[in-house]
Structure 1
């Protein structure tokens, strides 16, 4: 194997490893929009507003 071919293979492997690292990093920080659950703060706000509405009637 020639020297230039070895350098090319090493650089290719390094590039692929970096791309895999960034892909895993991005996937770990994001979630699918349909999979998000309602945050507890929002649920509490909805319950509080319902209580206020029923008390005022």
Structure 2
């Protein structure tokens, strides 16, 4: 974030959590790998289906 990044996702496939980083906001934590992450508004239309990530 200090280098100008506007969006970061840290995907922990073993603990099935996603940490979403946005400048000036608290870290958002999503539990479970059944949803989707949206890249909007920085990457309009980009969706990452978390269920496709191998959890083995």
TM-score grouping bracket, smaller chain normalisation: under 0.3
User: What's the TM-score once normalised by structure 2's chain length?
Assistant: 0.19
Bigger radius of gyration: 1
User: What's the TM-score once normalised by structure 1's chain length?
Assistant: 0.19
Report 1 or 2 for greater relative contact order, CA contacts < 8 Å, sequence distance ≥ 6.
2
Greater helix fraction, Structure 1 or Structure 2: 1
